[in-house]
Chain A
Amino acid sequence: MFKFFEPNKIFLITSKAPKYVMAIFIVVLSIGLVEALILSPEDYKQSHSVRIMYVHVPSAWISLGIFSLITFLSLSGYIFKNKNFFLIAKSLAPSGLVFNIVALVTGSIWGKPTWGTWWAWDARITSMLILVLFYIMFLLAWRIYEDNEKVFKITTIISIFGIINVPIIKYSVDWWNTLHQPASINIISKSSIHSSMLLPLMIMTAAFALFSLLIFLMKYNTELIKIKNKGLDRL
């Protein structure tokens, strides 16, 4: 089953894919920017400041998605003793961290005209900040520990503790009284966002997802070449 995940086979695809992903990313991002900055309407309450949503929300979604994927891969790697899963998890983390920081900073910029403050220690914002710390711990563990077995174990533990925070982030706006507004988009029930705003949001999400895929591919290729460099030393 895991033969597909052999680095030899994956590298044949991942080494060629970045240029195509980059091209699609530029096209989708250009459409997304036109939709987000020009074609989408202003909000009746928040006016043009609502446009910050088109970078803030996709960043937050993708950072949460990447951390969930990292946990799934780390756990799978540990259970099935597949080192490549850990390598994929490691390659996903840098873009996850950057998306998390972008979500926090753009949220703060959006907060100033909307709430009158750059920062509030409310449940949603604080739990997002905690996720940044988990990303940093995860990446630091890869830098600090040289021994593979040790780093696999520690990064899996970090991701398991970190994943507890993900549902807290998601439901924080329902569980506690927060400055942050509740979710406007629901998969199960009807979304409260108008289609004229939903469309640019989806296009920007697709663009950001393509960017994280691009970074992942480049990082993963780098990691494989690093391993090959060590292999050449042993020849």
Chain B
Amino acid sequence: MINEFLYMNGYGLYVWTAFFFTFLSFSTLYIVIKIQYVKEINKFVSKFGALDSEKEEVARTQTINKEILSNTQSI
């Protein structure tokens, strides 16, 4: 039964290749975008850490900055 499912009347190779290519493309895109995201977050954290206390106070008042910092814990 499993062989039948994989073979698909001789069309298995085409069907599985199409599905495999689709999910390979999805995975590659997801990984590339995730790497870019993590890279930017790390850059942000290191830049934020390098700020003096006065500038850090100013930066902390911005909504997005606060949100980015809270997100760094989930990476």
Contacts and interface: CB of A to CB of B under 8 A. Distances in A.
A206 to B, nearest CB: 15
Interface residues of A, number: 43
A215 B33 contact: yes
A228 interface: yes
5 contacts: A55-B22, A94-B29, A105-B18, A106-B21, A225-B41
Given A8-B63, A110-B14, A228 B68 contact: yes
Interface of B: 5, 8-12, 14-15, 17-19, 21-22, 25-26, 29-30, 32-34, 36-37, 40-41, 43-44, 47-48, 51, 55, 58-59, 62-65, 67-68, 71
Contacts of A214: 30
A184 to B, nearest CB: 18
Main secondary structure of the interface of B (DSSP, over half): helix
Given A102-B21, A109-B21, A233 B67 contact: no
B65 to A, nearest CB: 6
Interface string A55-84: 110010000000000000000000000000
B65 A228 contact: yes
Given A102-B21, A106-B21, A11 B63 contact: yes
Contacts of B19: 37, 55
Interface in A1-25: 7-8, 11-12, 15
Nearest to A232: B47
A7 B48 CA distance: 20
A163 interface: no
B44 A229 contact: yes
A55 B14 CA distance: 12
Contacts of B34: 218
B67 A11 contact: yes
A228 B9 contact: no
A56 B64 contact: no
A221 interface: yes
A215 B42 CA distance: 19
B68 A232 contact: no
